[in-house]
Structure 1
Amino acid sequence: MENSKLKLYSETSRILRILDNSRDKPSTRAILANIRNSINQDSLANIEALSFVFQNISEDFLGDKKRLNDYERAIVTAVQMYALHQQGKIDSVLKLDYKDGEIRENLSHALRSLRGEDSKAIDRRFNAMITSSNFSELTNHLRQMIKLLKAKSDAKVDYASLADDLYWFLKNQKDGVKIKWSRSYYKYRKNEGENQNAKNN
């Protein structure tokens, strides 16, 4: 399965592209609605949503137990967040294509767009999310952050990168994900810093 870890990003990208490239079709809109309805429900509560992922996921990633394995949970959750974010949007919210030399973005690159002159409230929400003690708590916070992003920003999200980070969170690499997301969220950007200083003067 070591090889599968390296392929998780491309696997999730492929599944997301299937949805995103046909997001205007009635059949895909119905699938996205089912996926959204499956958020925060028991895995078996909406089998139609799971069936889309299962029929499009490579066999290497499919589990054989009664519960979803970590690959499945990470991919399903990322697809759910994409479906939530894309709802009601004409343009795609998905970021997957990078120019040569560009660094792959994580969720916090997009969330950083929510920060303004008074960022205390959004910072508290972000900090609550990254200090989540378990996956259920993380996904609850994540859902709220995606709703805010959807309402207040046009930033696109690399949901395949999110799946990769969720996988490592499930593998008890919480600290690594926390540092990675915090670094991207709070990263000082020169132009933003100059603009903020101009406002304060």
Structure 2
Amino acid sequence: MKNKIQKVTASIIRQLYNHGNLNKGVLASVRHATVLNSPQAQALWPIMMAELDDEMLSRDGRPTAAEVAVYTAVRFYAIQQQGSEVLVYGPANSQTDDTEKGIPLFQALAKLRRNEETRVALDRRMQPLLATTNVASAINALTHLVSMLKAANQQQKIDYARLAQDLYWLQQSYERASQVRLQWRQQYYRPQDATEKPEGKKN
């Protein structure tokens, strides 16, 4: 399931971006639909359902963990992509061009946290996120964090496919969810790496 979640999410995002010919209608609908079963989310259904494997699809009308994870990550991408012609998604493990490479969301938030003006507001959003076991509460907190990232650094490429994978594991067992939250905490609070200092000097 690991590679499937990431692969599906990346494929949907690239279809919506469409080499710069953005599907603005679907992106707008997704931004305003907080959950998959919202009427506005229906604009994405044909694209999303065509990508998901049969075992990922709901049988009873209640979104599966895979559907929630993929949809939420795509929605976060749509929020950040608004107003930008440059693709704001990029895989963190890209083996091709560095210009196509993204970073995990919480690594990007960690960079944003270095700014004293935004640190308090970020920490205020992070603390309940890292403490909750409720997926809906986590998604709500993440929505605010993605919006803050967009406002501060619209062009930063984020690995939304990896975030989808995290969101999937967050809905599994308590142990899996705890691992995800610990990983997010480590990425967010980790001290600045020495290898990033030259980049910081350019800012």
Q: Which TM-score band (shorter chain)?
A: 0.7 to 0.9
Structure 2, unaligned stretches of length 5 or more?
Answer: 199-203
Q: Secondary structure at the match of 1:92?
A: coil
Structure 1, unaligned stretches of length 5 or more?
Answer: 196-201
Matched, 1:7 2:8: no
Matched, 1:138 2:138: yes
In structure 2, which of residues 84, 109, 112 is the aligned counterpart of residue 89 of structure 1?
Answer: 84
What is the aligned length? 188
Deviates more, 1:84-93 or 1:182-191: 182-191
**Pair member with larger Rg:** 1
The change in CA–CA distance for 1:163 and 1:16 in structure 2 (over 3 A counts) is: same
Q: Secondary structure at the match of 1:93?
A: coil
The AA in structure 2 aligned to 1:81 is F
Matched, 1:108 2:106: yes
The AA in structure 2 aligned to 1:80 is R
The change in CA–CA distance for 1:42 and 1:7 in structure 2 (over 3 A counts) is: closer
- Give the aligned partner of residue 201 of structure 2: none
CA distance in 1, matches of 2:127, 2:164: 20
CA contact (8 A) 1:50 1:76 kept: no
Matched, 1:99 2:102: no
**1:51-70 CA distance string (max 9 Å, x none):** 33113323342221220111
**1:92-151 CA distance string (max 9 Å, x none):** 110126137x99843211111211252233222222222223111111111100110000
Deviates more, 1:127-136 or 1:84-93: 127-136
- Give the aligned partner of residue 53 of structure 1: 48
CA contact (8 A) 1:112 1:185 kept: yes
CA distance in 2, matches of 1:58, 1:72: 10
**TM-score normalised by structure 2 residue count:** 0.81
Q: Secondary structure at the match of 1:88?
A: coil
CA contact (8 A) 2:106 2:188 kept: yes
- Give the aligned partner of residue 199 of structure 1: none
Deviation of 1:191 after TM superposition, in Å, equals 3.8
Matched, 1:171 2:172: yes
The AA in structure 2 aligned to 1:29 is K
**1:7-26 CA distance string (max 9 Å, x none):** 2212221222211234534x
- Give the aligned partner of residue 161 of structure 1: 162
RMSD between aligned residues: 2.6
CA distance in 2, matches of 1:104, 1:44: 29
CA contact (8 A) 1:8 1:164 kept: yes
**1:36-88 CA distance string (max 9 Å, x none):** 1212x571422223333113323342221220111111101111111111111
The change in CA–CA distance for 1:73 and 1:126 in structure 2 (over 3 A counts) is: same
**How many percent identity over aligned positions?**
28
The AA in structure 2 aligned to 1:167 is Y
The AA in structure 1 aligned to 2:192 is R
**TM-score normalised by structure 1 residue count:** 0.82
CA distance in 2, matches of 1:23, 1:74: 25
